[in-house]
């Protein structure tokens, strides 16, 4: 019980640390302290962010997809074997984090300032368009960070480091399109919650609490927090059955073969395949194909919708509290304080790489590694 309570509080802390960081970093780019708000500025932000995330192999990670270098990173576990590697990797993390902030802020501001509609009906249409597009590109689950039993990615989403330039380009284009669609959903919901209602601290608190309730109801609080897998999760998880597929290079535990003969990447992959999964909520019923809500085969769809709503509603409430109520006068000092304090806390929670969208620390790393190796 204590571990469960500690995990819940760590997840809450991780979520809010991330929000503080993004409020500050997006505020720094959005304010006129650096550049006057113009269409050119937002396009430059987007293009600079796009160039950085592509060069650091984190464009797909920003959309929640496997990155091209995931396989090579797994096959090179001694990345910190010397000071030079440590420095290069730290530099990559910093640039990837900056690129994530630039591309998300640029696209969001483009939609908000130059594309966004001025009526609830049009905002609802924008949300619907975003959700339909995410479902069509098979990236809706990547926005909610929860996945149905037997989840399979599309072929364009599982591209290894040695894929052709055309395959990588297609993957990057669709990943960028997914980021655009996710921004459409975020912006549309924000407008419906904030633009057409009177400002009120009580309203934002209600949003925050309601969102947390939905996240708890759908057992998605921990996935949304991006916390890395630790022993502290053992009271919230149940071990899944071993995978049916066995790699030829991986000896069976009952075969009597020496495990040391198995290449470490395959051994790591097999352990990742057996990653524990969250126990279902009391409202979920276990079945041979996985947890479903009492609505049968439509249960996961309902869980996905409620989880996504909880994430957006809660983050919108907390974001607005930080931006308009705790320190309403936006300035580079306020945004710098938010950015640095948020960065310190996400570092303490071990989430810098997750916010930088590096595949090895993404919330779905075990799914990504499995699919990339199976494609090989």
**pLDDT, mean of residues 255-273:** 45
Residue-level pLDDT at 192: 94
Write the DSSP assignment of 106-136 as a string of letters.
Answer: HHHHHIIIII--SSHHHHHHHHHHHHHHHHH
Q: What is the DSSP letter of 278?
A: E
Cβ(194)–Cβ(206) below 8 Å: no
Residue 244 in this model has a pLDDT that exceeds 60? no
Residue 295 in this model has a pLDDT that exceeds 60? no
| Residue percentage of the chain with pLDDT more than 70 | 70
Cα 360 to Cα 35, 229, 352, 357: the distances in Å are 35, 12, 12, 9
| Closest residue by Cα to residue 279 from 326, 245, 314, 235 | 235
pLDDT in tens, 167-218: 888 888 999 999 999 999 999 999 999 998 888 999 999 999 999 999 999 8
Residue-level pLDDT at 226: 87
**pLDDT, mean of residues 271-284:** 41
Residue-level pLDDT at 265: 47
| Residue percentage of the chain with pLDDT more than 90 | 39
Q: What is the Cα–Cα distance from 221 to 15, expressed in whole angstroms?
A: 9
Cβ(106)–Cβ(46) below 8 Å: yes
pLDDT in tens, 111-139: 998 886 778 999 999 999 999 999 998 88
pLDDT in tens, 41-98: 999 999 999 999 999 888 988 988 766 654 344 334 455 556 667 788 888 899 999 9
The overall average pLDDT reported for the chain is 77
Q: List Cβ neighbours of 188 (8 Å cut-off, separation of 6 or more).
A: 123, 124, 126, 127, 130
Residue-level pLDDT at 296: 44
Rounded to 5 degrees, what angle do the CA atoms 285, 295, 297 make? 85
Q: What is the Cα–Cα distance from 42 to 354, expressed in whole angstroms?
A: 24
Q: What is the Cα–Cα distance from 20 to 345, expressed in whole angstroms?
A: 9
Q: What is the Cα–Cα distance from 228 to 364, expressed in whole angstroms?
A: 10
Please tell me which of 135-149, 157-171, 292-306 the model is most confident about, judged by mean pLDDT.
135-149
Q: Predicted confidence band at 12 (pLDDT cuts at 50, 70, 90)? A: very high
């Amino acid at each position: 019980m204590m571990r469960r309570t500690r995990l819940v509080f760590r997840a809450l802390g991780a979520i809010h640390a991330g929000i503080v960081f993004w409020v500050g970093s997006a505020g720094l780019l959005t304010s006129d302290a650096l550049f006057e708000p113009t269409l050119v500025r937002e396009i430059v932000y987007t293009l600079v962010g796009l160039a950085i995330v592509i060069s650091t192999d984190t464009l797909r990670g920003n959309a929640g997809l496997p990155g091209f270098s995931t396989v090579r990173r797994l096959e090179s576990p001694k990345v910190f074997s010397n000071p030079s590697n440590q420095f290069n990797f730290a530099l990559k993390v910093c640039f990837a984090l900056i690129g994530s902030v630039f591309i998300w802020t640029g696209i969001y501001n483009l939609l908000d300032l130059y594309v966004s509609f001025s009526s609830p009906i049009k905002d609802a249409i924008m949300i619907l368009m975003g959700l339909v597009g995410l479902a069509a590109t098979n990236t809706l689950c990547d926005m909610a960070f929860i996945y149905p039993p037997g989840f399979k990615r599309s072929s364009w989403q599982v591209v290894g480091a040695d894929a052709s330039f055309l395959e990588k380009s297609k993957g990057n284009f669709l990943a960028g399109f997914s980021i655009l669609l996710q921004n459409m959903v975020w912006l549309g919901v924000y407008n419906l919650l904030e633009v057409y209602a009177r400002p009120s601290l009580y309203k934002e608190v209600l949003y925050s609490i309601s969102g947390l309730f939905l996240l708890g109801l759908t057992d998605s609080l921990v996935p949304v927090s991006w916390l890395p897998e630790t022993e502290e999760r053992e009271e919230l998880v149940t071990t899944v059955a071993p995978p049916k597929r066995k790699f030829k290079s991986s000896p069976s535990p009952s075969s009597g073969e020496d495990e040391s003969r198995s290449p470490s990447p395959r051994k790591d992959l097999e352990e990742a395949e057996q990653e524990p999964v969250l126990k279902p909520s009391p409202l979920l019923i276990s079945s041979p194909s996985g947890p479903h809500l009492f609505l049968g085969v439509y249960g996961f769809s309902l869980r996905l919708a409620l989880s996504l709503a909880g994430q957006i509603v809660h983050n919108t409430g907390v974001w607005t509290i930080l931006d308009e109520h705790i320190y309403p006068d936006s300035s580079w000092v306020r945004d710098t304080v938010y950015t640095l304090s948020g960065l310190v806390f996400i570092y303490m929670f071990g989430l810098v790489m997750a916010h930088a969208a590096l595949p090895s620390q993404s919330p779905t790393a075990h799914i990504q590694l499995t699919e990339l190796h199976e494609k090989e």
